């Protein structure tokens, strides 16, 4: 399975993600500069964390205009797995590949800490290796990760099973209804604020994040 880790100016979690993928069975990862992405070359795409284009104007908005994002959109339409992590989630939101908004944290400060999460859906390309309602531990590190949508939209997300992860216990960023990851209706596109690549080695503090990437392989087999 060939996976593109898309590198934008300002990406800073790209090589971490690449490292984890290289150590995940049956994945051939490549670090791909955003202007060099070719749709036909890869089976999946990951938009990593960081500060694409320095977060100028608004986090993720400039990267959402990159030609690479048009190719990611086509990959998503073709049913290929697409994961946006932190800044990658912001890009997917700005590109209208996922609904809602990501606002500044309620405390107006950058939050970097390990968090406890509950899996709400294992029907996605990046959670199908988990048991539903699994309790997961992964870190967050962001300033603009407060997921927001109108109540009617939040109700619809829940009814359609598109809420993927919620905070368990403390809600450190004030995100609406504790939501910290969502998917599209088909389940092949997922955006999440927690960093699975930072929870994929026991030396880093935990391995729950590794199953996010293992899920992608399992999804591809189905």
Residues with catalytic function: 86, 195, 197
Confidence of residue 196 (pLDDT cuts 50, 70, 90): very high
pLDDT at 222 over 80: no
pLDDT tens digits along 31-57: 999 999 988 889 999 999 999 999 998
CA distance 176 to 2: 35
Q: What is the CATH number of the domain that holds 111?
A: 3.40.50.880
pTM of the prediction?
0.96
Residue 107, classed as helix, strand or coil, is coil
pLDDT tens digits along 144-161: 999 999 999 999 999 999
Q: Are 64 and 191 in contact (CB under 8 A)?
A: no
Mean pLDDT of 77-104: 97
pLDDT score at 83 = 98
Residue 36, classed as helix, strand or coil, is helix
What domain count does the chain have?
1
Mean pLDDT of 157-182: 97
pLDDT score at 5 = 98
CA distance 86 to 108: 17
CA distance 48 to 84: 6
Which range of residues forms the domain containing residue 44? 2-221
């Amino acid at each position: 399975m060939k996976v593109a880790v898309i590198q934008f100016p300002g990406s800073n979690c790209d090589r971490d993600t690449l490292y984890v993928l290289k150590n995940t069975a049956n994945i051939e990862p490549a670090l791909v500069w955003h202007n060099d992405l070719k749709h036909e070359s890869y089976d999946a795409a990951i938009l990593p964390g960081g500060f694409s284009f320095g977060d100028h104007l608004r986090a993720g908005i400039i990267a959402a205009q990159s030609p690479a994002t048009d190719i990611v959109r086509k990959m998503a339409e073709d049913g290929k797995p697409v994961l946006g992590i932190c800044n990658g989630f912001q890009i997917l939101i700005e590109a209208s590949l996922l609904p809602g908004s990501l606002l500044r944290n309620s405390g107006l400060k950058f939050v970097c800490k390990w968090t406890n999460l509950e899996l709400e859906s294992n029907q996605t390309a990046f959670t199908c290796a988990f048991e539903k309602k699994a309790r997961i531990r992964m870190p967050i590190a962001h300033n603009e990760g407060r997921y927001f949508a109108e109540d009617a939209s939040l109700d619809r997300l829940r009814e359609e099973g598109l809420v993927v992860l919620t905070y368990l216990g403390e809600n450190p960023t004030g995100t609406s209804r504790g939501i910290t990851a969502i998917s599209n209706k088909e389940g092949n596109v997922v955006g999440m604020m927690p960093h699975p690549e930072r929870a994929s080695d026991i030396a880093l503090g935990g391995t729950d994040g590794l199953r996010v990437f293992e899920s992608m392989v399992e999804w591809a087999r189905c």
